[in-house]
Structure 1
Amino acid sequence: MKARNWIIGMGLLGIGVGLGAGAVWWLRVPAAAPSANSTATHSQEGTPKGRHILYWAAPMNPKIHSDHPMKDSMGMAYLPVYASSPNAPKASGLSIDPRLAQNLGVRLVDVQRRPMGQAIHTVGTVAVDENRVYSVNPRFSGWVTRLNVRAVGDPVRRGQVLAEIYSPELYSAQQEYLIARRQGGAMEGPALLAAARARLRLLGMPENQITALARHGTAERNVAVIAPTSGVVETLNVRQ
């Protein structure tokens, strides 16, 4: 009786061990991953009627597209993008998310053909071009009898009379030049005339004024100071 009970007990134990091992094996076997065909079938079955799928987009990066259902490296299924979806590309034109347009302050206008320009608001300093600065300094002593430029910033034109100066030194040089012209027939006349003319040039008398002096035959007490170019007065160190 005891032997029979033992045999029956062993049989039940064997069945229990077998069932336990089967349960462990069943728990350890992973579930089979759905195939691409099953995913495609599921996607197609889940597609609402009347909506056409354009492509499948990665769930973490919608810019990554696929022409068929698939999963990314993390096992996440690509999401279908329908033709009627707001994210679907338009056949023509430009589409901007309304929230983004509001944040950026985008305004819509009709297309026009016109030159493009850009306004730049900044801070700068206006400086004089040192390569175009002219210094007007008489080479003779004297007194300013008339000053036509009154302040820094006054515009001047080329050939404009800036001032008139009375100079005893220049007046004497003019008289010497006229005397040398009258003595042109003497032996030393040409040499004296050339020396007197050269002295007038060294004193800064322009060539046209020397020619006018020879034509009129009278020395000028007031000599005009002429602007060599057009521009703006930057420094004024003389007063009348």
Structure 2
Amino acid sequence: MPDNTTQTSPVIIEEPRRRRRAAAFLGIGALGAMALIGVTMASFTDAEYAALNGSGDGYAVAAWNIQISADGNAWVDTTSPSTPGQPDNLPIDVQAPIDLAIAGADALVPGDAATNVTATLYVRNEDTSARNAQLLKFRLLEDSTATDTALRDALRFTVSDGQSTFASLSYSALSTGVALSQPVIAPGSVVTYTITVSLPDQGSATQNAALQGLRANLLAAIDGVSTVAAAT
């Protein structure tokens, strides 16, 4: 009968070795996994960033501007705030008004309707404005040069924006402004203003003659404000 002792001995010895090896490998694997988790929780950090700067040049107030023109083609800005951050709607804020060449303005005759003179000016919401514009008031201001108040107060003005008209107003009435139609205009749109100036008869030849040689230097001002509402 064959002796199986030497044949079976290796089986008895090797089997536990395999198991111990396997147990050892499993143990290392488990410890390795636990160690990795612990390190991740304790030490790994990360962050992501998004620049909140519009197109990359930081924050800025949206551009909005109305402009004036003598001919509807060449557009200019005539004001700059004398006080930073404040509205530019005072005589002191006017840097360089447009010069309207009005034929006959220096040859008015009291009571002579034929010598009435008319000026036309144009106001637009600049085509690069971020919002619509509402044109609120038309005003008259005294120019920085000397004005003879007697002639200034004798003159009468008729003002129209093509939709509304105020007729035969004095300088005093226009110095605080008239609303006209208060149009709302989109960027690039234009409103035309006409101003007719007349010199009524003063009631006597003596009073009329007293105005000879006098001069009135005046500025027309149009006040506007930006709006959210769409122009129709």
Higher relative contact order (CA 8 A, sep 6+): 2
Larger Rg: 1
Same topology, TM > 0.5: no
Higher strand share: 2
Give the TM-score normalised by structure 2: 0.27
Give the TM-score normalised by structure 1: 0.27
